[in-house]
């Protein structure tokens, strides 16, 4: 699918890096930017509003609201100067409801862009990942710290394991893959099974992509007992990839713990953007 509307999320606490990334991406993709600027507040104290704890909470909330208003005004001015098609939406929310809010706004976008300030923020990264991938139908483009998305990518690496999640990621990235010069379907320690991988692992997905006019190759890589993340990222470097496309796994309340570890490893060990879908 093509990306005509891009949802980008940023915190009122962050600087300008994620905003610049969103502007640059939308300029290159000729897309409309929906910028979601969020202010975050702690849940109110359970002890009531008449004690010193409540007073501190109220003062902090007012400070956060003021910071959000100032950040939105600054963002609107920079976007107006950029000349791209855009709109700014601001919300102040408590942390537990943030994933639902992000997922709701993502219903009206083709892709969610999560910049490096958000992906490197230990406090906010979990909400962004959870909301973008588990509360919405759209793919998410994660931009690690130090990364600068090349769009469309010259070389893309697909982390393929014949799962529904990987298949969904490929289908949601198909228009981008068509524009790439090379696409590497990469499989780590695949097992030939007639009902899953087939007798020649990777052949089915490669044939599908080739029929789309994509210049595709299948790379089967042995892990040598190394973590799969390390193997994928090393191979991405070997083929000079600009983008990694992969599905994400995770279920119920344990998904944050499971997926958070995978995401953290991928984002901390690479400067490549990662297009993820579930």
Domains of the chain: 5-142 (3.40.50.620), 155-277 (3.40.50.620)
**By three-state DSSP, how is residue 20 classified?**
helix
Cβ atoms of residues 178 and 151 within 8 Å: no
- How far from the centroid of its chain's Cα atoms is residue 180's Cα? 19
Q: What is the pLDDT of residue 40?
A: 82
Query: What proportion of the chain, given as a percentage, has pLDDT over 70?
Result: 86
Name which residue leads in pLDDT, 17 or 48.
17
Degrees, nearest 5: CA angle 79-71-52:
165
Q: What average pLDDT does range 53-71 have in this prediction?
A: 84
Most distant pair of Cα atoms in the chain: their distance? 70
Position 128 pLDDT exceeds 80: yes
**Distances 5 to 86, 139, 172, 232 between C-alpha atoms, Å:** 9, 12, 14, 30
CA distance 272 to 63: 36
Cβ atoms of residues 45 and 55 within 8 Å: no
Whole-model pTM? 0.88
Q: What average pLDDT does range 253-268 have in this prediction?
A: 56
Q: What average pLDDT does range 262-274 have in this prediction?
A: 77
Name which residue leads in pLDDT, 60 or 115.
115
Q: What is the pLDDT of residue 43?
A: 66
């Amino acid at each position: 699918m093509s990306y005509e509307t891009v949802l980008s999320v940023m915190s009122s606490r962050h600087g300008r890096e994620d905003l610049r990334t969103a502007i640059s991406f939308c300029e290159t993709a000729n897309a409309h930017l929906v910028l979601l600027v969020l202010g975050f507040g702690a849940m109110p104290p359970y002890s009531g509003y008449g004690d010193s704890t409540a007073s501190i909470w109220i003062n902090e909330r007012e400070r956060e609201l003021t910071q959000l208003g100032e950040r939105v005004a600054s963002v609107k001015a920079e976007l107006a100067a950029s000349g791209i098609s855009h709109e700014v939406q601001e919300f102040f929310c408590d942390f537990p409801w943030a994933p639902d809010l992000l997922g709701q706004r993502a219903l009206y976008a083709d892709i969610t862009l999560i910049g490096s300030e958000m992906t490197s923020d230990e406090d906010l990264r979990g909400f962004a990942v959870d909301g973008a991938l588990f509360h919405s139908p759209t793919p998410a483009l994660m931009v690690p710290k130090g990364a600068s998305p090349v769009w469309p990518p010259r070389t893309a690496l697909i982390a393929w394991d014949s799962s529904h999640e990987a298949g969904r990621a490929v289908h949601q990235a198909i228009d981008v893959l068509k524009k790439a010069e090379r696409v590497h379907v990469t499989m780590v320690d695949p097992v030939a099974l007639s009902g899953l991988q087939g007798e020649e692992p990777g052949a089915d997905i490669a044939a599908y992509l080739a029929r789309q006019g994509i210049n595709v190759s299948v790379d089967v890589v042995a892990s040598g007992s190394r973590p799969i993340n390390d193997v994928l990222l090393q191979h991405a470097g070997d083929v000079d990839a600009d983008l990694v496309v992969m599905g994400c796994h995770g279920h119920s309340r344990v998904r944050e713990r499971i997926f958070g570890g995978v995401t953290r490893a991928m984002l901390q060990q690479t400067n490549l953007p990662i297009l993820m879908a579930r």
